[in-house]
Structure 1
Amino acid sequence: MTKVAVLQMTSGIDPEANARTIVAALEAAAGEGATMVFTPEMSGLIDRDRKRAALSVVPEGEDRVLAAVREASVRTGVWAALGSLAVAREDGRWANRGFVIDGSGGIAARYDKIHMFDVDLATGESWRESNAYAAGDSVVTVETPAGRLGLSICYDIRFPALFEALGRARCDLIAIPAAFTVPTGQAHWHLLQRARAIEASAYVVSAAQVGKHEDGRATYGHSLAIDPWGEVLLDLGGERARLGFAEIDPARIAEVRAQLPSLANRQTIAT
């Protein structure tokens, strides 16, 4: 059994304030015996004013939040699945990039969000992530103290091919950090999270943004930990930022895969 921590945040427009929140979570997790902390999408900055945000979006080597988390991992020995940061690429585009930081402060893995959130909702909300961000193109897994971790970010959850690839990679758990809108969260959040856990026969850990943010947006919250059978082990609700804990049990993964060997039975379907 491995204990992990799940950080639900209300990130704002000040990266240093957001960094302090994440560092405090790593310190608290260490005190509770957790080996990893999972944080939401855009942990370091949430700001829909892209002109203002541009002042804080820098190459990863200059990112203050990433540096602070790496230093905290060195002090605490706790790994961080840093859901994502907005970072500047060499070509001038931005990347919505997740990081896995090991207990010595090293970057064990990077993942650039593949699917861009370009939608017009019935509520009147309109989002065009691709106007600023470049999409990634690689499936990423990494060995961690909690097992083999597969990486995704938010809107990726709606695209089963990515999770089929993570299932084929025999991931023990999958991170789905998010900043879900309230209407899409109310309609689909729990349903999609449970489905992804069931089809991969893996744990899903989904740290989420919650509440009203400084830039005016509202996010759904309900950070989750779900077991390979689809049972919800942790739900942090939709009201406030907080830290929760869940147990990752390798025996449970083996039990579910023995009972329902969908990964072994999967067939390639010609189209």
Structure 2
Amino acid sequence: MPTSSTVKIAGASALAAAMLAAVSRPRAVGRLVRGIVTRAAGGPVYTPLPPPQKVKVALCQLHVTADKEQNLKTARKAIEDAAAAGAKLVVLPEMFNCPYSNDSFPTYAEDIEGGASGSVAALSAAAAAARVTLVAGSIPERCQGKLYNTCCVFDTSGKLLAKHRKVHLFDIDIPGKITFKESLTLSPGPGPTVVDTEAGRLGIGICYDIRFPELAQIYAARGCQVLIYPGAFNMTTGPVHWELLAKARAVDNQVFVLTCSPARNPDSSYQAWGHSTAVGPFAEVLATTEHSPATVTAELDYSQLPERRAAMPLRQQKRHDLYLLLDKTAP
């Protein structure tokens, strides 16, 4: 553990370096200061990104029923089939193991941190067996008396790398169309989730999270190559906003965006729009589907990211003298 004098010396050295850079290389000042702040905050330091690679992804648009065990079997089979087709990154839908309803969330909720989650155990085993990076949609999570809408991310050995609890709760009221308030049962998550995986650096959001560009901007600033949104847009907002928002988040931040929905179930009280979609950094739709059960596959070529950013250098052209995104959760 460093002593206080050590911290003072390190701080003085960093300040001296910053002053020297300010005189000799003004453009280096921003990077240097951000590095100092990051280290001082004591947060996680992200590993350097690997060389550009191509990654095959599979978005599994699943038929979801009231039978949890059947839903898990459906998910496992989809993961196996995706891996057999060459996918290295597999994504499941929001609330893939239960009906999407406030009545269902408490009934189907599982204690992930307490190790009493049958869904997590099944998904871990499936990811390990298929040797894929798995972004496991979301399930209702129970923790310390609260319920969350939670996405688990597993590596190719089945290790749980991260959990993302939905940050923005779906509370809307469109007269004559749809009213839904997740806040009646669910609590909001603490913040952004960035995960380094064999398939790249991922930024995770869940459904309504995609409507908030600031979250995507934070992910882009932290070096995410892909933003992944398991979601269950409805029949009112889905047709007009689902693809639009995926394209917007992709082109604004020059990253890949993946959205994965449940298939539409005529027997469900909540009708999902479907249309799971992969979008490229130029807002181009790489692959999509309709509303029936299906697996959408696409190849993500990460070499496109620096190419797009060089051709249209948005990051360098931002007017930081006029506006600034403040990341209060910065590592």
2:279 counterpart of 1:221: no
What is the TM-score with the length of structure 1 in the denominator? 0.94
Tell me whether 124-133 or 207-216 shows the greater mean CA deviation. 207-216
Among candidates 129, 136, 146, match of residue 75 of structure 1: 129
What does the per-residue CA deviation read over 1:200-245, in whole Å, with 9 as the maximum and x for residues that have no partner?
100001111221254421110110000000000111112x011121
- Matches of 1:257 and 1:7 in 2, distance apart? 30
- Decide whether the 8 Å contact of 1:3 with 1:247 is kept in 2: yes
Among candidates 197, 208, 214, match of residue 144 of structure 1: 197
Deviation at 1:72, TM superposition (A): 1.0
Q: Alignment length, in residue pairs?
A: 268
Query: What's 2:6 paired with?
Result: none
2:50 counterpart of 1:21: no
What does the per-residue CA deviation read over 1:20-65, in whole Å, with 9 as the maximum and x for residues that have no partner?
1111111112211111111111112124252x54332121122222
Query: What's 2:221 paired with?
Result: 168
**Which amino acid counterpart does residue 121 of structure 2 have in structure 1?**
A
2:301 counterpart of 1:249: yes
* C-alpha RMSD over aligned residues: 1.6
Aligned CA distance change for structure 1 residues 270 and 196 (closer, same or farther; 3 Å) = closer
- Matches of 2:286 and 2:261 in 1, distance apart? 15
Q: Look up the SS of the partner of 1:130 in the other structure.
A: helix
2:61 counterpart of 1:12: no
Aligned CA distance change for structure 1 residues 126 and 2 (closer, same or farther; 3 Å) = same
Segments of structure 2 that go 5 or more residues without pairing to the other structure are 1-53, 325-331
Aligned CA distance change for structure 1 residues 255 and 55 (closer, same or farther; 3 Å) = same
- Decide whether the 8 Å contact of 1:151 with 1:175 is kept in 2: yes
Among candidates 177, 181, 185, match of residue 132 of structure 1: 185
Segments of structure 1 that go 5 or more residues without pairing to the other structure are none
Q: Look up the SS of the partner of 1:190 in the other structure.
A: helix
**Which amino acid counterpart does residue 69 of structure 1 have in structure 2?**
L
Query: What's 2:140 paired with?
Result: 86
What does the per-residue CA deviation read over 1:163-196, in whole Å, with 9 as the maximum and x for residues that have no partner?
1111111211000110101110112111111000
- Decide whether the 8 Å contact of 1:146 with 1:248 is kept in 2: no
Query: What's 1:58 paired with?
Result: 110
Query: What's 1:40 paired with?
Result: 93
Among candidates 138, 145, 159, match of residue 106 of structure 1: 159
Tell me whether 138-147 or 80-89 shows the greater mean CA deviation. 138-147
Deviation at 1:122, TM superposition (A): 3.0
- Matches of 1:102 and 1:267 in 2, distance apart? 38
Aligned CA distance change for structure 1 residues 31 and 47 (closer, same or farther; 3 Å) = same
**Which amino acid counterpart does residue 101 of structure 2 have in structure 1?**
R
**Which amino acid counterpart does residue 225 of structure 1 have in structure 2?**
A
Give the percent of matched residue pairs that are identical in Structure 1 and Structure 2.
32
- Matches of 1:139 and 1:160 in 2, distance apart? 12
- Decide whether the 8 Å contact of 1:29 with 1:78 is kept in 2: no
Deviation at 1:124, TM superposition (A): 3.8
- Matches of 2:100 and 2:243 in 1, distance apart? 25
- Matches of 1:34 and 1:101 in 2, distance apart? 15
